Amino acid sequence: MNDLDRVIHEPARLLIVALLAGVKEADFLWVQRESALTKGNLSSHLTKLEESGYVEIEKTYRGKIPLTMLRLTRDGRAAFDAYKRNMNGLLRKAAAR
Amino acid sequence: MDNIDLAAIGRRPQQYWNADGIPELLMGILWMVWGAAWLIGDRIPRGSVYTAFWLVTPAFLALSGSFVVWGTRALKARITFPRAGYVAWREPSPAARFGVAAIAIVTAALLAAVAVKARKSGATSQLVTPLLSAILSLAFVVAAVRQHAPHYLGLAGVAIASGIALGTWRGGWESVNWLFLLIGVASALVGATRLALFLRTHPRAEAA
């Protein structure tokens, strides 16, 4: 259990990372709709992920409309892959008991 | 939130592309235009109108594919992104690109082999429509599985049923135009229905 990355293990952050793992980049609105998190909740989890170096946040504009682009960093992708490996290992051990 | 299905989450970006019906709608319109252009062209009496039509139409049809790509992006930017957000897919791996190219080459080689064999027996014009419908149907099935879009299976059914019906009719090369027209109508109807549902279920969101 100690091998699990605590930053990613939190369900909301796991959902955000899993969503971003499937794309090159996405905007805040898509992640918010797909995760069904509130704006405030999503923002706070994204800040935590950004501080851990797992997510890159870019504030930009499309025309005059503000746009927040999100992408998983290389470290974020590696951490997510490691998390899945560790979790699968734990589940296999639990099933073998 | 406690039960997170990572595999299902991984499918969401693919499903997102088909959520609004825009690709099916524009693809359907493209096929309708292709089918109708050839059908109309074949019915124009030989003369100046016929010559002008066949001077302009091939160039227009050649550009129509690019127009659909541009139109899909423009409509998605205007309709989909403000409602469902923006997603950029990851680039396919070299292995995936190689796989798609290999499938295209094998399909083209099979098509050429069947065409050559059929020409020897004089049956090319009667075989081309059922064969094309089978290939299009297969492409729809692959799209349905890869993009997790079950409505493409309906279009696969329309393609194969139209191919069989038109093959029985034995209309020769003209039946290819009717095949494009029928699949185009089906695809445009599916796209329009999905777009209407999308607009109803996705109100315009505030910018983030």
**CB contacts < 8 A (A, B):** 80
In what side-by-side order are the strands of the sheet with A65-72? A55-62, A65-72, A23-27, B87-89
Chain A contact present for B7, CB below 8 A = no
The answer to whether position B146 is within a domain reads yes
Range of the structural domain that residue B149 is part of:
8-201
- CA-closest candidate to residue A86, choices A23, A6, A22: A6
Do the chains contact at A22 and B208, CB–CB below 8 Å?
no
The answer to whether position A65 is within a domain reads yes
pLDDT digits 0-9 by tens, A21-40: 989 999 999 999 999 999 99
The answer to whether position A28 is within a domain reads yes
The answer to whether position A53 is within a domain reads yes
pTM score:
0.78
Per-residue pLDDT, B116: 72
**Which parts of chain B are beta strand (E)?**
87-89
Q: Residue A57: which CATH number?
A: 1.10.10.10
Spans in chain B with pLDDT lower than 50? 208
- Chain A contacts in chain B segment 124-183 (CB below 8 A): none
The answer to whether position A94 is within a domain reads no
What total of structural domains would you count in chain B? 1
Per-residue pLDDT, B185: 97
Average pLDDT over residues A58-83: 90
* A37 → chain B, closest CA residue: B1
What total of structural domains would you count in chain A? 1
Per-residue pLDDT, A14: 93
The answer to whether position B41 is within a domain reads yes
The answer to whether position A97 is within a domain reads no
Range of the structural domain that residue A12 is part of:
6-89
Chain B contact present for A27, CB below 8 A = yes
- CA-closest candidate to residue B103, choices B143, B144, B160: B143
Q: Report residue B79 CA to chain centroid gap.
A: 21
Q: What is the CA radius of gyration of chain A?
A: 15
* B91 → chain A, closest CA residue: A24
Per-residue pLDDT, B122: 63
The answer to whether position B145 is within a domain reads yes
A29: nearest CB among B12, B14, B85: B85
The answer to whether position A64 is within a domain reads yes
The answer to whether position A96 is within a domain reads no
Chain B contact present for A39, CB below 8 A = yes
Band (A55; pLDDT cuts 50, 70, 90): very high
CB A19 within 8 A of CB A82: no
The answer to whether position A95 is within a domain reads no
- Residues A23, B22, B78, A31, CA torsion sign: negative
